[in-house]
Amino acid sequence: MVTLEPRAVFGFFNEITQIPRASKKEEKIGQYLVDFAKKHNLSVKKDRVGNILIEKPATAGYQDAKKVILQAHQDMVCEKNSNVIFNFDTDPIKTQIDGDFLKAKGTTLGADNGIGVAMALAVLESTEIQHPALECLFTVDEETGLTGAFALEADFITGDMLINLDSEDDGQIFVGCAGGIGTTAKWTLTREKIPDGFYAFRVNISGLQGGHSGDDINKNRANANKLLNRFLWEINAKTDLRLAYFNGGNLHNAIPREAVAAAIVPLKDKENLSIWFNIFVAAIENEWLRYEPNIKLELETEEAVNDVIAKEMSDKLLDAIYACPNGIAAMSPDLAGLVETSTNLASVKMPQQTELLIVTSQRSSLETAKYDIAHQVQSAFRLGGATVELGDGYPGWQPNMQSEILKVAAASYETLFGEKPLVRAIHAGLECGLFKEKRPTLDMISIGPQMYGVHSPDERLSITSTLKTWKWLIEILKNVK
């Protein structure tokens, strides 16, 4: 690997890329961290789920300063291109430099959050950086459930301030995040043979942008499930439609890009169906083409349908999906442009002919509003005849604009770079909300270097931004008194 600056940070990151560390499989990276601590004669402990804490005493003159926690997560998202042969359980990440960016060859890079781990290790190793007493907390399984942060015992950490190193935007300080909860509806379906005199068709929606259901919910992204259901509902209002199947979306935290369904209508309305479809396409293009330039809607004959959902149940399903709220529910009154509350109708799946599952996710920076929007979703599905379960959820992190560590970080950035950093919150989940719940007095911020395409094989890390963030982190630690 070409020598990159900061040398210590990229040196540790290179070592980390050689270690398999999929979520829930952090044993090897955990052992690497323990071995690092022992090699450098630093105190280390590990809790029952695999969270690791490495401590380092204050440097001279900082013995009376507040103790700082540097925090990052051990695991990474494991995604690869379909044409790439790669085993995330055994193979090292293959990195490459592309201009200012460090990337992987056909897989996720794991800079989320390996670069945060590397920065913490570089601070721990250094004999030159001035800093107060440090605790470096490395949590497990952030990417698939925050289970490390959930399981963290309140007394596992003792620091007064926490710097989360899991952000992905250059020159920005995050001081708050949304809490989240998942709401899942289940229908047990009654099916019947297709009556005589009916025509079976399939309708498909594709080409939407999709995106993260938190970060991208305010970017005018169409929801494939909602659009598809809207067409079916409108046809059902005109004639005797019965649903055969409905499949759309995938991940619980993603805005669905594609959806497909099959249904039947009386044979006498076959030609009308084409007319109604064309009218619908024109309406959708008028509403969405400026935001979704690649949207594609297709209507075809479906040959493979043998039975359909019973009429009354089919009607209730379409009504429930139509009634289910989706998108932004409220904007923050405190931070301009920040979504306060939202909900995403993430996926509609039929794992078997007699079962339909709908997965949704709700987010809010207010706990009460989070549950309110979840209960709205729950009510819509219950009215539609479903059994509904709410997940455990995770808490949000309320911004504290009077935060001491925020003031130190902002002043340090201005001193180094001659401009003020952007202070903001995000409508997505961070572990900070759970840390705050366990230790209410904890003073926190989140920072990190510029990254793009995280959670995908397009993930790339800015090399210059990493150096900039490293200098900033050192300055923050120097200025904590």
Per-residue pLDDT tens digits for 180-236? 999 999 999 999 999 999 999 999 999 998 888 888 899 999 999 999 999 999 999
Q: What integer pLDDT is reported at residue 82 of this predicted model?
A: 79
Domain boundaries defined on the chain:
7-178+396-479, 180-390
In the chain, what percentage of residues exceed pLDDT 70?
A: 100
What whole-number distance in Å separates Cα of residue 450 and Cα of residue 447?
10
> Looking at residue 1, what is its pLDDT?
47
**Is 404 considered catalytic here?**
no
Domain 7-178+396-479 class in CATH: alpha beta
Half-sphere exposure (Cβ direction) of 457: Cα atoms closer than 13 Å: 13
266-299 pLDDT per residue, tens: 999 999 999 999 999 999 999 999 999 999 999 9
- The C-alpha atoms of residue 425 and residue 30 are separated, in whole angstroms, by 30
pLDDT at residue 86 tops 70: yes
pTM for the full model?
Answer: 0.78
Catalytic residue among 26, 75, 112, 160: 75
Across 113-258, the runs of DSSP E, i.e. the strands, are 134-139, 161-164, 172-177, 179-188, 191-193, 198-206, 211-212, 242-248, 254-255
pLDDT in tens, 294-313: 999 999 999 989 999 999 99
Both tokens assigned to 450: 């510029």
Q: Is 75 a catalytic residue?
A: yes
Class of 180-390 in CATH: alpha beta
Give me the pLDDT at residue 398, please.
85
Residues 148-190: pLDDT tens digits? 999 999 999 999 999 999 999 999 999 999 999 999 999 999 9
Average pLDDT for residues 29-58, to the nearest whole number? 98
Of 26, 112, 141, 142, the active-site residue reads: 142
Residue entry with tokens 């009556």: 195
pLDDT band at 2 (very low <50, low <70, confident <90, very high): low
